Amino acid sequence: MPFLRVRDRKISYRSDGEGKNIVFIHGSGESKNSWIAQTELKDTFRIISFDLTGHGESSKSVPTMDIYIEDLNAIIEEICDSKPSIAGHSLGGAIAQRYALEDGETIEKLILVSTGARLRVAPIIFDMIENNFDGVPDMMEEMIFVEKPPRPTISKIKEEIRKCGREILNRDFEICNKFDLMGEVDKINNETLVICGSEDVLTPKKYSTYLGKHIKNSSLSIIAGAGHMMMLEKPDEFNALVERFLRGE
């Protein structure tokens, strides 16, 4: 995979297809592989995904929200060949919201997936990371999937969590736990699609309902029977929603 240099960091990214650009931002402890099923959209759009600092094949620096914003900005400025839409999952959705508030004029549309204007993290997650990190991948498997994708896909997600490591994963969830834009999301001006799974326990449906109510030009789609990782659980349904939204249908 190619790399982009951002200050002293290397950011790994993937680009598939041609057409309107869409940049996908992964969530806590994950990587660009979370979006592997969305490469099916490459016949219509240019699909760009990347590993945030500390994740996947990118440099292992300890991140902050500002560093994640810097990663995204570099992808948009240096890799995109047209004004992109951005899609963020969970922590990636937090990054996308903040980017839209600060630099919304540099992007077209916004897609918020399994996320919220505030992202509270259950204490048990921090406790497991601190005291039983080896058990975290299995715990996360049970929390993020309802209709589980093929076993190799699950194994890959769990391996990404292990590879990410205790320090980075804990930092990701700390960033989520401190994130709060509940009083600001009504200032987002980009046309927005909010997608959630009806059975998501990490970012419950009420989080997405709040976004759909308070972001001015937004629509909410709920994927029945899906959990936190609906883009892997129900990729055909998810991709159809994304394609219709980006086409303006």
pLDDT tens digits for range 123-134? 999 999 999 999
Place of tokens 């401190």: 178
Q: How far apart are CA 130 and CA 167, in angstroms?
A: 9
Nearest to 134 by CA among 155, 112, 158: 158
Q: Please, are residues 32 and 40 in contact by the beta-carbon 8 Å criterion?
A: no
| CATH code of the domain in which 74 resides | 3.40.50.1820
Q: Please, are residues 11 and 3 in contact by the beta-carbon 8 Å criterion?
A: yes
Range of the domain at 166: 3-247
* Total structural domains within the chain: 1
Question: 151-178 and 136-144 helices cross at what angle (nearest 10)?
Answer: 90
Average pLDDT, the chain: 96
Summarize pLDDT for 2-17 with one digit per residue, the tens: 999 999 999 999 999 9
pLDDT band per the 50, 70, 90 thresholds, residue 73: very high
Strand 218-223's sheet: what is its strand order?
3-6, 9-16, 45-50, 20-25, 85-89, 110-113, 192-197, 218-223
Average the pLDDT over 25-49 and give the result. Answer: 97
Residue 249 pLDDT greater than 80, yes or no: no
Contacts of 207 (CB under 8 A, 6+ apart): 115, 116, 117, 118, 119, 196
Give the model's pLDDT for residue 1. Answer: 79
Could you write out the DSSP letters of every residue in 120-186?
---HHHHHHHHH-GGGHHHHHHHHH-SS---HHHHHHHHHHHHHHHHHHHHHHHHHHHH-B-TTTGG
Summarize pLDDT for 218-241 with one digit per residue, the tens: 999 999 999 999 999 999 999 999
Summarize pLDDT for 162-195 with one digit per residue, the tens: 999 999 999 999 999 999 999 999 999 999 999 9
CA–CA distance from 51 to each of 11, 113, 216 (Å)? Answer: 6, 17, 30
Q: Given the DSSP bridges, would you call strands 3-6 and 9-16 parallel, antiparallel or unpaired?
A: antiparallel
Give the model's pLDDT for residue 147. Answer: 81
Beta bridge partners of 23: 48, 86
Average the pLDDT over 113-121 and give the result. Answer: 98
